[in-house]
Chains A and B, each alone.
Chain A
Amino acid sequence: MSMQQTAAVLDRSQTDAAVAVRGVTKIYEGNVKALENMTLDFPRGQLTSLLGPSGCGKTTLLKIIAGLIPATGGEVLVNGRAVKGPGRDRAFVFQDFALMPWATVLRNVGFGLELRGVPQSEREAVSERYIKAVGLSGFEQSFPHQLSGGMRQRVGLARALAVDADVLLMDEPFSAVDEQNRRKFQEDMLALVEQEKKTFIFVTHSIEEAVYVSDKVAVLLPRPSRVSEVIEPKIDRSVSPDAMRRDPDYLDTVERIWTALRTYVE
């Protein structure tokens, strides 16, 4: 992305939030406060990470945005409309992949479209396109148990892309993927983010990962759960991935977030 484009996106982000979280509170049974009066904007076309130690409510927030669990108070707006439940404007990528083990890669990727009643030939054409986009060509007829963890998550990502939602919600998508595959996957995802022009909301507990893939990092702190700061890593993404990981800005940002979080690590 050139500097000019970056500036344009940043400029747009000032006014246009694809997802707006407004004073969201979540209290679980037994008076357990997972979120308290959380307010946060997710700019359109960008990748925003929710980063924080376990127990900071980042997955809870993501699932509230997804409409999978209801908020106790406050509201979530997606494209200006309040979230009442799951909707076509959002697609979810699961930490444990959540693939149907009895279905082929092709059917798994097309499952969202299948539920919408898209005819078989059409949804298979779309599925094949996204299977190719995530680099799984040739595995259309494989079953999930025949794939590695990294490949399974690529299927999960292709499934989320296939429904063409505006917002992609990713719940620690790489945490069950081994380290080598994770790096490759992160690089591929950056390319996808640029290509797909969607809004990505990305939950992670890895500082490096968050800084590496994000336009914006929202650092969440636990007990009571709150947004500590929002950091915009200004990293030149035009260079090679390896150069990026050695970029002083990248390393400084990682250090800065670590300093903010270290007091919360037992």
Chain B
Amino acid sequence: MKVMGYELPLMSSLIVWAILWEILGQMDVSILLPPLSAVLVKMVEIIPTQAFLSALAVTARGFLTGTILAALIGVPLGILMGKSIIVDRMLLPWVNMFLSAPLSALVPVLMVLFGIGEQTVIITTLLFAVWIIMLNARAGVMQISPSLVEMARSFGATPWQAFREIYFWAALPEIIAGVRIGLLRAVKGVIIGQLLVSIIGFGRLFELYSTNFLMPHFWAILLVLFFFAFLFAEIFAVLERRVRYYASNRT
């Protein structure tokens, strides 16, 4: 972006918001909004603490397990939906329902099924991420050129070979985009799961800080979380760019 002839560095909009935040914080507008500098100081202070590190470990574990499961389940099922009208008819209503359903409301039910602990958090994360991954894999398969599928058949591909060598790769750009969006939803999922279970991970810390009005602590954790979500999304955006060379050349 250029402003008055100067090339602005990437994310310079963030600097504007950071300055605005600092000013509002210094003006003492609300107890909910401490100055950014105070938040950053608090962040440096709490990151090395045992409470934070163990919360981070638990959260990372829940997040990664949930997301990997979501991808392992969502991608093959999504591909199957794109391939088979019967599977699609069976699953699509559920996928659409869960995609828009208020999943947070489901967590108490999950707690009954899976107990008050990490398992529930993992399942919540999975449920937040899996639907969009399925839908994207499905969309990826549905745009495959039919002649590519015929090509594989005519050269004697077994259904499994066609699945692995054609469907998966042809849908890969959409699959990666789906996993990227799924990751962001998984961040929400893992925190909401932890908040509702409220005895583990960042959820416990959020609960602790917000009920005690420790706003700098609260914001510090939120910023850390934002950083991680941003990092994961960026990694996948890089992957997406790597397959872009053929995404637009598939027909």
Contacts and interface: CB of A to CB of B under 8 A. Distances in A.
B211 interface: no
Interface residues of A, number: 27
Q: For the complex, would chain A's binding face be called helix, strand, loop or mixed by DSSP majority?
A: loop
A68 B172 CA distance: 26
B143 interface: no
B155 A86 contact: yes
Contacts of A95: 147
Given A102-B243, A144-B249, A86 B153 contact: yes
Interface in B134-170: 145, 147-148, 150-157, 161, 165-166, 169-170
Max chain A Cβ within 10 angstroms of own Cβ: one of B155, B157, B246: B155
A56 interface: no
Contact of B246 (A92, A143, A163): A143
Given A87-B156, A115-B155, A116-B156, A98 B245 contact: no
A183 to B, nearest CB: 24
A185 interface: no
A237 interface: no
A66 B156 CA distance: 11
Contacts of A63: 150
A249 interface: no
Given A98-B145, A101-B250, A86 B154 contact: yes
Residue from the set A66, A90, A112, A116 with the largest chain B CB neighbour count within 10 Å: A112
A158 to B, nearest CB: 13
Interface string B211-251: 00000000000000000000000000000000101100111
26 contacts: A66-B154, A67-B154, A68-B150, A68-B153, A86-B154, A91-B155, A92-B155, A96-B251, A98-B150, A98-B151, A100-B148, A100-B165, A101-B250, A102-B169, A102-B172, A102-B246, A111-B155, A112-B156, A114-B165, A115-B155, A115-B161, A115-B165, A143-B245, A144-B249, A145-B246, A145-B249
